[in-house]
C-alpha cells in the first residue's frame, strides 16, 4: 500500500486513493476543503480548485516536486508522496485567491438564504477567505426560478460545481438540466422552462454546496440553526428511507438525507450512499410517518450545534464527566468534545 | 535540405490537387515508408529528428508518440489539431489551404507509425472553406489508394475524416478537442489520464498540430538526422511563423530555427521592417499567450546577445526578460501602439474563450478585462494595476488547463515591461491622445 | 453558399432534413464508431443551422436530438457552448468582424465603426429589413491579412472602407443567405 505524508502526518492508503481521500482518512484540520468533489458521484471534482495542495515530492521513485498546485480530489497518491496543505503559506495564499474568485460574483445574500448555516461557501469564506472584496464591478445576476414544484434555483449563488448535473445523470433517467453557455456566462439551466421531476431529483438540493438549489417546501420557514435535526427512518419502497428530520417545535419542517462531516450523504452497511426519494423528502412530513432514532450528530463547529439541540441528554453526561475529570476544581473548560454525542457511549 | 521544407511547393499552381502534388514528388515518401520502413522506425526517425510540437507547447513529438499505450485489441487514434485559434497565428490555415496533401501524407505516415487505423482532422469551424479543401484532397487520396483498406498493398488500413468545430479557442487544448470531437462541450479533461492512455472514446490517442504532422513527411524523406541538422540546438528543423501587425510584409514564413529576430523583423525576405518608417515598440513572439517583450529585449537578450528565433533563445531570461516560441504567431507593434489597449483585446479574448469549468479562469478572466476597460476609460487607479497583477498571479498555475496561464502571462508581461505606460493611463488619462487607438503623449 | 429561401420559412411542423441532407448525415455517421454517433452532433448542428433559418431554435435542437437519439439538454449544452451557433435569429447575412490584437492593430475598429454607420445598427443588432446582423468576433486566423470579416464561410480580408462598401453592395445585390455549410 502506498504511503503518503500530508502536512507531516503519514498514512498508508489503498492503491488508487486520492490525496483528498487520504487526508480525510487522517482527518482534522489538514483535510483540504472541497466544494465540487463528491465521493458518491462519479467524475466530480477538479473544477472549483479549493482543494489544491502542493506536492513537494512526487513519489519515492520520482521525488521531483510537482511544478504547480494540484487538485487533491483528482490526484492519486503515489508511494512516498509528500504533500503540503496547511503547512505551506504559499498554498494557503493561493487557496485564498481561489476563494476570492468564487466570491466576486456571489451575491453574499446569506441573511436571506436558506442555506445559511449549512453552506460550504460560508465555511470556506470564514476559513480561507479575505475580509474584503476587491471587486468593484456589478455581480452576475440571474432571476431565481422554480424548477419544478419542489426546487428553487438561485443561479446567482451557484459556483458551478456540477454536482447537481451528476446527480441527474447518475441517479435519474432523462436528465433535463445541465450547464448552458460558456465561461463566465455559464449557468445551470434547463434551457427551456421545464420542471425537473423524478423520484430522486431532491438529492440535487442535498449535494448543492451553496444555496443555489433549495427546498421550496422549506423556503423561508426558519433558519437552520433554529431547527433541531433528528435521525429517523421508515420503510420506503423507493429509497433507503433513512433521513434527517428537521424539527421546529413539534413540527417537521424539512426532510433531508443524512450527511457526514464532509457534507456528503452517509453510506449504508454496504457502502451504498443513502440517497432519499422525493416522497420521503417532500411529502412525508408528519412525525407519525417516521421512526425516530435520536438527535443527529452535527459537527461541533457548525452553527447548527450552537443551539444545544442535544441539550438534555448531552448535558447530563457532560456534567458527570466534568465532575469525574475535576472533582475538586471550580473551573472546568467546556472544551473539545464536551457536547459531542459520540462521547456519550464512552 | 534547404530552409524551405514545408512551403517548398506552396507557390506551385494547383499543388492542392493530387496529380500536381504527385508530379512534384508527393506521396513518394509514403510509398517508401510503407514498403521499406517499419512502424517502430517511423517513431524512431521522428524521435531522432528532434521535432517539437508546433502548436505551441513545443513538446518533443517523438517522445509524445512513445507514450502511446498499445493494449491488444484496443483501437488507437491519431487526431490532427487544426483548431488554429491562437491570436496572431494563421500558419496552419495557410499550409492546409495551399498544400493539403502534405499534411495528409504526414498523417498517413504518422498513423502507420502509431498503429492507428482511424484518424481525424479537427478543424476550427470558421475554416469551413479549408475543411472543403481537405475533404476534396482526402477523396483524391482514397481514390489513389493512399487511404482506405490495405494501402498500397502494405496491409495497413487507414480512414481519415475531417471534423469541423464550431467556434471555441479552448478546443485547441487537446483534451477539450477530444471532448468536442465526441460531440460534447469543449471542456478540458482533468489529467491524468493523458490522451496517450485514454483519449478519444477512451482509447489511446495522439493529438498533433497540423504543421507537426506535415513535418513528418520531410523527416521520413531525408531521415531524422538530416532534419535535426537544420536549426540550432534543441530547436531543430524549420518553423512556420505567422507575421502580423505593423510590418511591411505580413504573412507566413518558413524559417530555419535559429535566425536572428532582428533579421526576421527587418529583412525584406521576411517582415520587411516596420510599416510607415516607424520604430519598433514591442513584439508578441509566439501568439497571444506568450509574454510580450519590448523592442530592446526581443532584439537582444538581457545579456546583450542577439535574440534568435529558437525555442531556447526566445525563452532566455525566463519570464523576467524572455518569452516563448509558442505557436509562432509573431505580432509586431510600432512606436504608437497602446500596449494597454492591445492587452485589453487579449483579455477580452480570453474572457470570451474561457470554458467556465474551473473557477480561477471563469471568474478571473472577466475581472481582468473589466479592470483594463476601466483603465482605458480613464477611470483607473494605481491600485488597479496592482490588482491586475494579483489576479493574474492567482490564475497562473491554478487552473485545469493552460488557458489560465495563457490569460495570465500577457497581463503579467505587459505590466512587467510597460508599467510606466499603465501608470500614465491611470494618472494622466487626459494627456493620452485618442486612448482607444494609439498611445501618444501630448507634447504641449 | 446555399440559397435557403424555402427552408428559411420552414415552420416547426415541417422540421425535416431533406433527403440529400439525410444522405449526407448517414455518410457522416460512418466516420465514427457505431456506438459513438454523438460525435456527429456538431456537424449536424451546423447543417441544421444552415437549413432551418440560420439559427438554432428549440424545436430545431430538439429535432437534432431526435436524429441522434440524444437528450435535448445534451444538445442545448453543446449548442450554447460554441460561438458559431446562433441561439437567436440573425439577419440573412451575418457579418462577423474580427477585433483581436492584429486586426485591432490594423484598424478593425474603424471597419466596425464604418459598418455600424453604414448599416445604421450597433454590433449585436440586425438591420430593420432583416438583411444584416453585425457581430464582433475573436481572432479568425487572418492576422496577416488584417483587418478582416467573415460572412458565412467567406473570408473578406485586407479590408478598407471602400472595400467594405463594395462587399455590402454585392451582398445586397445577391440577396442570398450567408451560411457556413
End-to-end CA distance of chain C: 7
**Tens-place pLDDT, residues A122-171:** 999 999 988 888 999 999 999 999 998 999 999 999 999 999 999 999 99
A210 contacts A115 by C-beta, under 8 angstroms: yes
Which runs of consecutive H residues, i.e. helices, occur in B182-307? 210-222, 224-229, 261-266, 295-299
Q: Which CATH architecture has domain A105-215?
A: 2-Layer Sandwich (3.30)
User: Is position B7 within any domain?
Assistant: no
Same domain, B45 and B58: yes
Closest CA in chain C for residue B275: C106
Q: How far apart are CA B177 and CA B179, in angstroms?
A: 5
Confidence band (pLDDT; 50, 70, 90) for A323? very low
Q: How far apart are CA B122 and CA B178, in angstroms?
A: 9
- Tell the residue number behind the cell numbers 504567431, with chain if given: B329
Q: Is A37 helix (H, G, I), strand (E, B) or coil?
A: coil
Mean local confidence (pLDDT), A46-55: 98
User: Is position B3 within any domain?
Assistant: no
User: Is position B405 within any domain?
Assistant: yes
B438 to chain C: which residues are within 8 Å by CB? none
User: Which residue ranges make up each domain of chain A?
Assistant: 3-97, 105-215, 224-325
pLDDT value at position A320? Answer: 44
pLDDT value at position C3? Answer: 34
Question: Cβ–Cβ of A180/C71 closer than 8 Å?
Answer: no
A61 contacts A70 by C-beta, under 8 angstroms: no
Same domain, B282 and B194: no
Question: Cβ–Cβ of C73/A178 closer than 8 Å?
Answer: yes
Of B180, B207, B229, which residue is a domain's last? B229
CB-based contact, C72 to chain A, within 8 Å: yes
Same domain, B285 and B386: no
Question: Cβ–Cβ of B250/C145 closer than 8 Å?
Answer: yes
Same domain, B74 and B33: yes
CB-based contact, B366 to chain A, within 8 Å: yes
Confidence band (pLDDT; 50, 70, 90) for A78? very high
Q: Nearest-CA neighbor of A244 among A232, A234, A235? A: A232
Of B184, B199, B229, which residue is a domain's last? B229
Kindly report the CATH number assigned to the domain that includes residue B163.
3.40.50.11540
C71 to chain A: which residues are within 8 Å by CB? 174-176
pLDDT value at position B49? Answer: 98
User: Is position B368 within any domain?
Assistant: yes
Find chains touching chain B: ≥3 CB pairs under 8 Å. A, C
Domain that holds residue B78: 18-229
Same domain, B107 and B161: yes
Q: Which residues contact B58 (CB under 8 A, 6 or more apart)?
A: B52, B311, B324, B325, B326
CB pairs B-C closer than 8 Å: 147
Q: How far apart are CA A96 and CA B394, in angstroms?
A: 9
Same domain, B25 and B82: yes
User: Is position B330 within any domain?
Assistant: yes
For chain A, the average pLDDT equals 88
Among C81, C86, C123, C157, most B C-beta atoms within 10 A, so best to mutate, is C81
User: Is position B8 within any domain?
Assistant: no
Burial of B319 (0-12, 13-18, 19+ CB in 10 A): middle
Complex-level ipTM beyond the 0.90 threshold: yes
Same domain, B173 and B62: yes
Same domain, B90 and B24: yes
pLDDT value at position B444? Answer: 41
Mean local confidence (pLDDT), C3-14: 46
Of B334, B351, B376, which residue is a domain's last? B334
Q: How far apart are CA A3 and CA A26, in angstroms?
A: 12
Angle at CA of residue B271, ends B80 and B236, nearest 5°: 45
pLDDT value at position A148? Answer: 86
Q: Which three cell numbers stand for residue A343?
A: 462521547
Q: Which of residues 18-37 of C touch B (CB under 8 A)?
A: 31, 33, 36
pLDDT value at position A193? Answer: 77
**Tens-place pLDDT, residues A202-239:** 999 999 999 999 999 999 999 998 999 999 999 999 99
Read off the pTM: 0.93
User: Is position B10 within any domain?
Assistant: no
- Percent of chain C as helix, strand, coil, to the nearest 5: 50, 10, 40
B184 to chain A: which residues are within 8 Å by CB? none
Which runs of consecutive H residues, i.e. helices, occur in A135-237? 163-171, 203-207
Same domain, B325 and B300: yes
- State how far residue C68 is from chain B, nearest Cα, in angstroms: 11
Q: Span A3-97: which CATH code?
A: 3.10.20.740
Question: Cβ–Cβ of B168/C83 closer than 8 Å?
Answer: yes
Residues of chain B with confidence (pLDDT) below 50: 1, 436, 441-444
Q: Which residues contact C107 (CB under 8 A, 6 or more apart)?
A: C146, C147
CA dihedral sign, ordered B128, B56, B8, B268: positive
Which among C42, C83, C180 has CB closest to B128? C180
Q: How many domains are contained in chain B?
A: 3
Q: Is B73 helix (H, G, I), strand (E, B) or coil?
A: coil
Cα within 13 Å of Cα(B341), Cβ side: 23
Among C57, C61, C76, most A C-beta atoms within 10 A, so best to mutate, is C76
Same domain, B245 and B278: yes
Q: Nearest-CA neighbor of A36 among A165, A156, A131? A: A165
Same domain, B299 and B356: no
Q: Which three cell numbers stand for residue B138?
A: 482526402
Tallying the residues shown for chain C, one arrives at 181
CB-based contact, C77 to chain A, within 8 Å: yes
User: Does position C156 have pLDDT exceeding 60, yes or no?
Assistant: yes
pLDDT value at position A331? Answer: 40
Amino acid at each position: 500500500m502506498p504511503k503518503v505524508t500530508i502536512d507531516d502526518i503519514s498514512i498508508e492508503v489503498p492503491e488508487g486513493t486520492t490525496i483528498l481521500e487520504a487526508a480525510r482518512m487522517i482527518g482534522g484540520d489538514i483535510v483540504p476543503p472541497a466544494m465540487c468533489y463528491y465521493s458518491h458521484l462519479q467524475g466530480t471534482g477538479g473544477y472549483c480548485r479549493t482543494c489544491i495542495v502542493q506536492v513537494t515530492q512526487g513519489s519515492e521513485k520520482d521525488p521531483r516536486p510537482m511544478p504547480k498546485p494540484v487538485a487533491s480530489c483528482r490526484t492519486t497518491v503515489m508511494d512516498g508522496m509528500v504533500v503540503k496543505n496547511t503547512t505551506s503559506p504559499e498554498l494557503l495564499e493561493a487557496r485564498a485567491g481561489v476563494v476570492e474568485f468564487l466570491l466576486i460574483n456571489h451575491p453574499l445574500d446569506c441573511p436571506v438564504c436558506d442555506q445559511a448555516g449549512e453552506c460550504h461557501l460560508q465555511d470556506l469564506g470564514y476559513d480561507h477567505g479575505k475580509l474584503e472584496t476587491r471587486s468593484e464591478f456589478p455581480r452576475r445576476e440571474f432571476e431565481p426560478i422554480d424548477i419544478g414544484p419542489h426546487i428553487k434555483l438561485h443561479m446567482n449563488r451557484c459556483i458551478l460545481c456540477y454536482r447537481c448535473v451528476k446527480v441527474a445523470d447518475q441517479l435519474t433517467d432523462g436528465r433535463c438540466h445541465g450547464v448552458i453557455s460558456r465561461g463566465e456566462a455559464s449557468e445551470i439551466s434547463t434551457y427551456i422552462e421545464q420542471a425537473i421531476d423524478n423520484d430522486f431529483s431532491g438529492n440535487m438540493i442535498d449535494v448543492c454546496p451553496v444555496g443555489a438549489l433549495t427546498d421550496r417546501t422549506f423556503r423561508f420557514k426558519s433558519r437552520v440553526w433554529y431547527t433541531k435535526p433528528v435521525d429517523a427512518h421508515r420503510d420506503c419502497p423507493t429509497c433507503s428511507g433513512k433521513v434527517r428530520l428537521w424539527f421546529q417545535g413539534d413540527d417537521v419542517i424539512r426532510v433531508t438525507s443524512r450527511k457526514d462531516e464532509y457534507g456528503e450523504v452517509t453510506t449504508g452497511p454496504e457502502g451504498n450512499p443513502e440517497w432519499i426519494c422525493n416522497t420521503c423528502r417532500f411529502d412525508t412530513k408528519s412525525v407519525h410517518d417516521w421512526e425516530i432514532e435520536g438527535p443527529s450528530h452535527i459537527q461541533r463547529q457548525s452553527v447548527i450545534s450552537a443551539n444545544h439541540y442535544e441539550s438534555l441528554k448531552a448535558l447530563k453526561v457532560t456534567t458527570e464527566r466534568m465532575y469525574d475529570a475535576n472533582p475538586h476544581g471550580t473551573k472546568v473548560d467546556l472544551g473539545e468534545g464536551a457536547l459531542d454525542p459520540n462521547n456519550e457511549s464512552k | 535540405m534547404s530552409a524551405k521544407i514545408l512551403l517548398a511547393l506552396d507557390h506551385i499552381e494547383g499543388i492542392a490537387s493530387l496529380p500536381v502534388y504527385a508530379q512534384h514528388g508527393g506521396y513518394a515518401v509514403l510509398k517508401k515508408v510503407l514498403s521499406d520502413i517499419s512502424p517502430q522506425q517511423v517513431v524512431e526517425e521522428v524521435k531522432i529528428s528532434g521535432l517539437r510540437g508546433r502548436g505551441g507547447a513545443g513538446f518533443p513529438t517523438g517522445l509524445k508518440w512513445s507514450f502511446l499505450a498499445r493494449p491488444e485489441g484496443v483501437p488507437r487514434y491519431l487526431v490532427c489539431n487544426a483548431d488554429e485559434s491562437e491570436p496572431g497565428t494563421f500558419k496552419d490555415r495557410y499550409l492546409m489551404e495551399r498544400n493539403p496533401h502534405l499534411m495528409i501524407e504526414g498523417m498517413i505516415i504518422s498513423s502507420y507509425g502509431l498503429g492507428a487505423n482511424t484518424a481525424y482532422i479537427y478543424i476550427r469551424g470558421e475554416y469551413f472553406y479549408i475543411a472543403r479543401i481537405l475533404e476534396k484532397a482526402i477523396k483524391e487520396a482514397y481514390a489513389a489508394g493512399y487511404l482506405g483498406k490495405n494501402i498500397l498493398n502494405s496491409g495497413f488500413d487507414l480512414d481519415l475524416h475531417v471534423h469541423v468545430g464550431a467556434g471555441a479557442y479552448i478546443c485547441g487544448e487537446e483534451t477539450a478537442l477530444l471532448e468536442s470531437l465526441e460531440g460534447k462541450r469543449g471542456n478540458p479533461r482533468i489529467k491524468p489520464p493523458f490522451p496517450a492512455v485514454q483519449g478519444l472514446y477512451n482509447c489511446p490517442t495522439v493529438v498533433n498540430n497540423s504543421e507537426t504532422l506535415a513535418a513528418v513527411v520531410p523527416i521520413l524523406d531525408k531521415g531524422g538526422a538530416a532534419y535535426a541538422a537544420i536549426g540550432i540546438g534543441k530547436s531543430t528543423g524549420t518553423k512556420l511563423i505567422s507575421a502580423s501587425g505593423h510590418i511591411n510584409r505580413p504573412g507566413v514564413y518558413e524559417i530555419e530555427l535559429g535566425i536572428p529576430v532582428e533579421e526576421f523583423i527587418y529583412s525584406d525576405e521576411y517582415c520587411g521592417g516596420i510599416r510607415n518608417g516607424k520604430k519598433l515598440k514591442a513584439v508578441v513572439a509566439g501568439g497571444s499567450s506568450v509574454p510580450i517583450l519590448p523592442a530592446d529585449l526581443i532584439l537582444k537578450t538581457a545579456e546583450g546577445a542577439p535574440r534568435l528565433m529558437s525555442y531556447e533563445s526566445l525563452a532566455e531570461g525566463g519570464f523576467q526578460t524572455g518569452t516563448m516560441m509558442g505557436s509562432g504567431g509573431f505580432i509586431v507593434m510600432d512606436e504608437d501602439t497602446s500596449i494597454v489597449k492591445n492587452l485589453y483585446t487579449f483579455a477580452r479574448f480570453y474572457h470570451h474563450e474561457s470554458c467556465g469549468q474551473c473557477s480561477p479562469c471563469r471568474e478571473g478572466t472577466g475581472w481582468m478585462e473589466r479592470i483594463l476597460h476601466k483603465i482605458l476609460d480613464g477611470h483607473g487607479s494605481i491600485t488597479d494595476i496592482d490588482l491586475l497583477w494579483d489576479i493574474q498571479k492567482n490564475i497562473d498555475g491554478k487552473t485545469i488547463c493552460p488557458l489560465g496561464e495563457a490569460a495570465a502571462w500577457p497581463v503579467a508581461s505587459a505590466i512587467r515591461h510597460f508599467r510606466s505606460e499603465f501608470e500614465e493611463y491611470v494618472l494622466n488619462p487626459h494627456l493620452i491622445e485618442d486612448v482607444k487607438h494609439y498611445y501618444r503623449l501630448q507634447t504641449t | 453558399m446555399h440559397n435557403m429561401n424555402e427552408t428559411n420559412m420552414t415552420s416547426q411542423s415541417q422540421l425535416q432534413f431533406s433527403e440529400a441532407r439525410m444522405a449526407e448525415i448517414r455518410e457522416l455517421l460512418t466516420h465514427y464508431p457505431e456506438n459513438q454517433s454523438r460525435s456527429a452532433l456538431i456537424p449536424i448542428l451546423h447543417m441544421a443551422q444552415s437549413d432551418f433559418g440560420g439559427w438554432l431554435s428549440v424545436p430545431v435542437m430538439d429535432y437534432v436530438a431526435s436524429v441522434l437519439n440524444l437528450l435535448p439538454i445534451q444538445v442545448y449544452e453543446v449548442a450554447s457552448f460554441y460561438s458559431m451557433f446562433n441561439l437567436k435569429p440573425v439577419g440573412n447575412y451575418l457579418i462577423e468582424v474580427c477585433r483581436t490584437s492584429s486586426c485591432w492593430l490594423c484598424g478593425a475598429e474603424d471597419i466596425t465603426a464604418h459598418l455600424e454607420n453604414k448599416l445604421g445598427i450597433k454590433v449585436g443588432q440586425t438591420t430593420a429589413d432583416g438583411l444584416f446582423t453585425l457581430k464582433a468576433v475573436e481572432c479568425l486566423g487572418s492576422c496577416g491579412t488584417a483587418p478582416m470579416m467573415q460572412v458565412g464561410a467567406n473570408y473578406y480580408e485586407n479590408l478598407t472602407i471602400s472595400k467594405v462598401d463594395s462587399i455590402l453592395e454585392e451582398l445586397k445585390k445577391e440577396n442570398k443567405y450567408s451560411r457556413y455549410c
